[in-house]
Structure 1
Amino acid sequence: MTQSPLTEANRRTILKSLSAISAAGMTGLAGCAGGGNGNGDDNGNGAGTISADEYPAVDEWMTETEIGDAARLYDGEIVDLREESDVAIDVGAGDEGLAFEPSAVAVSSGTEVLWEWTGEGGAHNVEAEPDEQIGESDYEFSSGEAEDGDDIEYTHTFDEEGIALYHCEPHIANGMKGSVVVEEE
């Protein structure tokens, strides 16, 4: 039995197919490169995680409490951003704009955290008030009155080891809660 040689048309079809497969593979790999902050995308996706089992107060706060629903984007994991000197958290994330993203992060002491309003979900603020956060927050801070817009920012530098449990006052009942675990460098 004699094999027939590839015709020029068949060879081109095969090369086009291989080229398309190769391009699709490279496109898929490009998504692995992530954003410019070294954490996958701008919200820490792609970074390593820490199980919230290591921080029971975080897990208790982020799940449903008598104060409010469970945090909408919380999945029982804390995004590990301890290698970053600056961390950004979206205010007004999620389908309805009633979440912080990432909702739970771990940072090193001395890290400045920037909360950036997305303009979604109405007026928001960022408050850590230990008496209102199951009595477990080691930090107290506030961005002030709730504001609506996409050009609002608030920063806080976490200088000491501890846990910051925080919320959005107008949306705490809806589960707009977050947490920052601060570890010594």
Structure 2
Amino acid sequence: MGPHGQRGTGYGPGQRGTMMGPHYRQTPGQSTTSLESWMSDVDNYTDIVDRTGRTQVAVAVGATGNGGNFAYDPPVIRVSPGTTVRWEWTGQGGTHDVAFVDGSRSSRLTATAGASFERRFGRIGTYLYYCTPHRTLGMKGAVVVE
């Protein structure tokens, strides 16, 4: 177990590894981006939060980070295949969405507190996502399915 009761990543203290090979889901036309480089400008990212073994996991949209309420919390989660992730809007930071880099199904833009978007992850891989209006501020996240 790592800090905060999380399963370790296999890297030493203060190190983050890349999620390449079988853990990284690349689609045609998408550059080969490691999880580390994708999250490099996300100020509330410190480590992958382990949520394996759960059937549903929640992620806050509009959480504190990146100079305001421009973050997902937790920004990176590890889940088991078949897990449903539910993004829940806080109503803070303006209009947000959940848009996947691979072009797969995304949420609509909304600023409404209590709004939600769900997606079930059935295949192993790393799914990168961002908020369309706040991507340049660092409002990005990832779901690692193992």
Q: What range is the shorter-chain TM-score in?
A: 0.7 to 0.9
More helix by share: 1
Distance 2:19 2:102 in 1: 16
Q: Residue 82 of structure 1 corresponds to which residue in structure 2? A: 52
- Judging changes above 3 Å, is the alpha-carbon distance between structure 1 residues 54 and 84 closer, same or farther for their aligned structure 2 residues? farther
Q: Residue 55 of structure 1 corresponds to which residue in structure 2? A: 19
Distance 1:55 1:177 in 2: 16
- Please give the per-residue CA displacement for 1:54-89, whole angstroms capped at 9, x wherever unaligned: 5262111111xxxxxx112111x1011112111000
Higher relative contact order (CA 8 A, sep 6+): 2
Q: Is the 8 A contact 1:108 1:182 kept in 2?
A: yes
For 1:128-167, what aligned pairs fall within 5 Å after superposition? 128-130=100-102, 140-144=104-108, 146-167=109-130
- Please give the per-residue CA displacement for 1:12-53, whole angstroms capped at 9, x wherever unaligned: xxxxxxxxxxxxxxxxxxxxxxxxxxxxxxxxx944053541
Same amino acid, percent of matched pairs: 36
Q: Residue 98 of structure 2 corresponds to which residue in structure 1? A: 126
Distance 2:63 2:114 in 1: 14
Q: Is the 8 A contact 1:83 1:108 kept in 2?
A: yes
Segments ≥4 residues shifted beyond 3 Å? none
More strand by share: 2
Distance 1:47 1:113 in 2: 20
Give the TM-score taking structure 1 as reference length: 0.62
Distance 1:55 1:62 in 2: 12
Find 1:178's aligned residue among 134, 141, 146: 141
1:60 aligned counterpart, secondary structure:
helix
Distance 2:37 2:143 in 1: 14
Q: Residue 71 of structure 1 corresponds to which residue in structure 2? A: 42
CA RMSD of aligned residues (A): 1.8
Distance 2:71 2:18 in 1: 23
Q: What is the CA distance between 1:129 and its match in structure 2?
A: 2.5
Segments of 5+ residues of structure 2 without an aligned counterpart are 21-33
Distance 1:89 1:129 in 2: 18
- Judging changes above 3 Å, is the alpha-carbon distance between structure 1 residues 108 and 55 closer, same or farther for their aligned structure 2 residues? same
Find 1:106's aligned residue among 75, 78, 86: 78
1:142 aligned counterpart, secondary structure:
coil
Larger Rg: 1
- The amino acid across from 1:98 in the alignment is F
Distance 2:5 2:142 in 1: 16
1:130 aligned counterpart, secondary structure:
coil
Segments of 5+ residues of structure 1 without an aligned counterpart are 1-44, 64-69, 132-139
Distance 2:43 2:132 in 1: 15
For 1:37-56, what aligned pairs fall within 5 Å after superposition? 46-49=4-7, 50=9, 52-55=16-19
